[in-house]
Structure 1
Amino acid sequence: MDKDIQSDDALVDPISAQPHFHRTESQIAIAGHPIHAMLVAFPIALTMCTLGADGFYWWTGDIFWARAALWASGMGFLFGLLAGLSGTVELLLVPGIRARAASWTHFVIAVMLLSILGANWGYRLGFGYEQAVLPWGIMLSAFAAGFTAITGWHGGKLVFDYHIGTSSTGKG
Structure 2
Amino acid sequence: MASSNPRTTARIGGHPIHPMLVGFPIAFFVATFVCDLVFWGTALPGWAAATQWLLGAGLVMAAFAALAGLTDVLGDQRIRVLGDVWLHAGGNVLVVLLELYNFYSRYTAGASAILPTGLIISLIVVGILLFTGWKGWGMVYRYRVGIRSDDEPL
In 2: Cα distance, 1:71 partner to 1:44 partner: 14
Q: 2:106 touches 2:114 (CA, 8 Å); kept in 1?
A: yes
Q: 1:46 aligns with which of 6, 25, 28?
A: 28
Larger Cα-atom Rg? 1
Shift of 1:168: 1.8
Paired position in structure 2 for 1:6: none
In 2: Cα distance, 1:76 partner to 1:156 partner: 20
Q: Secondary structure at the match of 1:51?
A: helix
In 1: Cα distance, 2:84 partner to 2:95 partner: 16
Moved more, 153-162 or 110-119: 110-119
In 2: Cα distance, 1:136 partner to 1:102 partner: 30
Shift of 1:171: 5.7
User: Any residues of structure 2 matched to 1:143-158 within 5 Å, and which?
Assistant: 143-158=124-139
Paired-residue identity, % = 32
In 2: Cα distance, 1:71 partner to 1:138 partner: 15
Cα deviation 1:116-171 (Å, max 9, x = unaligned): 1211111111211x121111111111111111111111111101111112212486
In structure 2, list runs of 5 or more residues that go unmatched. Answer: none
Paired position in structure 1 for 2:39: 57
User: Any residues of structure 2 matched to 1:1-12 within 5 Å, and which?
Assistant: none
**What RMSD in Å do the two structures reach over aligned CA positions?**
1.8
1:34 matched to 2:30: no
Q: Secondary structure at the match of 1:132?
A: helix
Q: Secondary structure at the match of 2:7?
A: coil
Query: Where is the helix percentage greater, Structure 1 or Structure 2?
Result: 2
In 2: Cα distance, 1:171 partner to 1:41 partner: 28
In 2: Cα distance, 1:25 partner to 1:36 partner: 12
Paired position in structure 2 for 1:140: 121
Q: Secondary structure at the match of 2:8?
A: coil
Paired letter, 2:59: F
Q: Normalised by the size of structure 1, how large is the TM-score?
A: 0.82
Shift of 1:82: 1.1
In structure 1, list runs of 5 or more residues that go unmatched. Answer: 1-19
Shift of 1:21: 9.4
Shift of 1:107: 1.5
Q: 2:91 aligns with which of 88, 97, 109?
A: 109
1:163 matched to 2:129: no
In 1: Cα distance, 2:3 partner to 2:11 partner: 20
Q: 1:158 touches 1:164 (CA, 8 Å); kept in 2?
A: yes
Q: 2:8 touches 2:16 (CA, 8 Å); kept in 1?
A: yes
